[in-house]
Chains A and B, each alone.
Chain A
Amino acid sequence: MTAYDKVKAARAKGRPTGMDYISNIFSDFIEMHGDRRFGDDKAVVAGIASLNNMPVTVIALEKGHDTKEKIYRNFGSAHPEGYRKALRQMKLAEKFKRPVICFVDTAGAFCGIAAEERGQGQAIAENLMEMMTLKVPIISVFIGEGGSGGALALAVADEVWMLENSIYSVISPEGCASILWKDSSKVKEACEYLKLTAEDLYNLNVIEKVIPESGNFHKTYFELKHLLFNKMSENKKLDPETLVKQRYSRFRKIGSYSNTI
């Protein structure tokens, strides 16, 4: 599969969305709504659930399946209140010492007048800061598209895992092609250059795990459930200071690419 094929697979119709993972991996999911500041963003689903009897906080960017659902979910592109809802749930997770699990699937944070008016940049920035020192374990799983800052705002985690056919990029390949060549038909080339596949990211040491896809997603849910439970059981034993220190150094080491002259 070329990088372009992976992009198509990540966006494919019929691919499971965040809520499919929630309902197949956890039991007793109770959804919590709203950011207590502006409203309830339907592109972000958040709540409490049980993972093999371990209480956890689950947050997912949700794209929806059919056209009606997609419009309701704003195609998985969150407004600032979505990121603030997620942060509110993470702060509660910290208070009650629950691990946090995020499922990322978004073309990017929504880009529009209202999103800017309510501080899209500030909302993302605050999540990055707060997640970095959150005193409970965080794991983010990329299940489809990981579009730029809007994906990162739920991915400042102890470990980031990606499904084999998911992508994670600083800019959409279409955006990249139009900036570089003023030609959106060069998307295929852009996909290769951006190094956005799970395998690329693993090789760049940006993620910890690539979750294989067999085509049977029930197998994937089953495997993920065990991987998440094992990792969270392990990370729960770490004291908060060590956990935060490890999370900071995880990001701290990305970027020693400089020369001295």
Chain B
Amino acid sequence: MLRKDLFRRPKNELEDYFKSSKKASAPDVPGEMCILCPKCKSTLFTSSLNENCRVCTKCGYHFRMNARQRVDFISDDDTFTELFSDMRSKNPIEFPNYTEKLKHARLESAQKEAVVCGTAKIGGFDCALFVMEPNFMMGSMGTVVGDKITLLFEYATEQSLPVIGFIVSGGARMQEGILSLMQMAKTSGAVKLHSDAGNLYIAVLTDPTTGGVTASFGMEADITLSEPNALIGFAGPRVIEQTIRQKLPSGFQRAEFLVEKGFVDSVVNRKDEKKLVSKLLSLHKKEDL
């Protein structure tokens, strides 16, 4: 039987989803006091949203969080020490408009690159921490992101520290071509050496985690947690829909789906993240030598 919509472009719910969420999570410029929840359509005060760790007070929808907000949220007060903060991308393959794009991303995110690395205490436990920045080219991985994550894992291996990573990324950064792809292998190697030395790595996958980051350090943790409803996958949903000419089932590639399929250990609400990570760190505390 011929399906009626066979030759029609499949409706992509995500396009609407991204549109509305982009509008809803517009940067907190002064004057913009209210924000619309894309899920329950409630109007929320930005201040109360931020106080509630950017989770909708009405329906529990998790808004995106920038890297600095997350660092403050997860680490104990005044314990975060940033590492490798000076590293900035060049335009290694002279990709058109990339230099301008980087400038724009730096302004938009107020960060030098798409990941913030350092050491911190979480619930009193020492760890190495990396947090990716959604406002910097959607957390994409170029050579500097690859370098910083590799350096952090190497530092953590040397110091016998667990690594906690908050991941948000569209994948490998196209503008650095093959060099971005090589970062997948490089970071994976650093994760492996950290793991072989008996150290713990906890990844918290947040919305969205896709592409080359899913296919490298995103899926290589000892414990993989995820925030509710986060999009997690290798190929993006739009690409899949275009390839198979078929609408994707609802909930496909969402965090809960990945738990069901056996690729994520647990979905955790943002407000419980710190407690859970602290507990896990305490259970993996190394005996004094």
Contacts and interface: CB of A to CB of B under 8 A. Distances in A.
A4 to B, nearest CB: 16
Interface residues of B, number: 60
Given A124-B234, A125-B220, A195-B178, A116 B143 contact: no
B150 A258 contact: no
A259 to B, nearest CB: 5
B130 to A, nearest CB: 16
A111 interface: yes
Given A168-B178, A193-B95, A196-B177, 17 more contacts: A111-B234, A128-B215, A128-B216, A132-B188, A149-B172, A155-B185, A170-B174, A170-B181, A171-B172, A176-B174, A194-B174, A255-B179, A257-B176, A257-B179, A258-B89, A259-B88, A259-B90
Contacts of A170: 172, 174, 176-178, 180-181, 212
Interface size class of A (residues with CB under 8 A): 35 or more
Contacts of B193: 133, 248
Interface in B141-189: 143-144, 146-147, 150, 172, 174, 176-186, 188-189
Interface of B: 86-90, 92-93, 95-96, 112, 143-144, 146-147, 150, 172, 174, 176-186, 188-189, 191-193, 195-196, 211-212, 214-220, 232-235, 239-240, 243-244, 246, 248-249, 252-253, 261-263
Given A113-B252, A116-B235, A121 B219 contact: yes
Interface in A218-261: 247-248, 251-252, 254-261
A121 B90 contact: no
Nearest to A247: B189
B182 A255 contact: yes
5 contacts: A121-B215, A122-B219, A129-B191, A149-B215, A254-B183
A120 interface: yes
A212 interface: no
Contacts of B240: 111-113, 116
Interface of A: 109, 111-113, 115-122, 124-126, 128-130, 132-133, 148-149, 152-153, 155-156, 168-171, 175-176, 179-180, 193-196, 200-201, 204, 206, 247-248, 251-252, 254-261
Contacts of B177: 169-170, 193-196
A257 B90 contact: yes
Nearest to A153: B215
B219 A258 contact: no
A132 B263 contact: no
Contact of A125 (B146, B180, B186, B219): B219
A259 B106 CA distance: 14
A120 B179 contact: no
A113 B244 contact: yes
Given A116-B233, A179-B174, A206 B214 contact: no
A133 B190 CA distance: 10
A152 B181 CA distance: 8
Contacts of A156: 185, 188-189
Contact of A149 (B181, B196, B243, B244): B181
Contact of B235 (A118, A120, A169): A120
B147 A256 contact: yes
Contact of B215 (A125, A133, A179): A125
A257 B243 contact: no
B184 A112 contact: no
A6 to B, nearest CB: 14
B244 A112 contact: yes
A119 to B, nearest CB: 5
B184 A260 contact: no
B96 A206 contact: no
Contacts of A116: 233-235, 240, 252-253
A117 B261 contact: yes
Given A113-B248, A113-B252, A201-B178, A258 B220 contact: no
A120 B261 CA distance: 12
Given A115-B234, A121-B234, A128 B174 contact: no
Nearest to A176: B174
A116 to B, nearest CB: 5
Contact of A255 (B186, B220, B239): B186
Given A133-B192, A170-B177, A252-B186, A148 B212 contact: yes
Nearest to A261: B86
A200 B144 CA distance: 21
B136 to A, nearest CB: 14
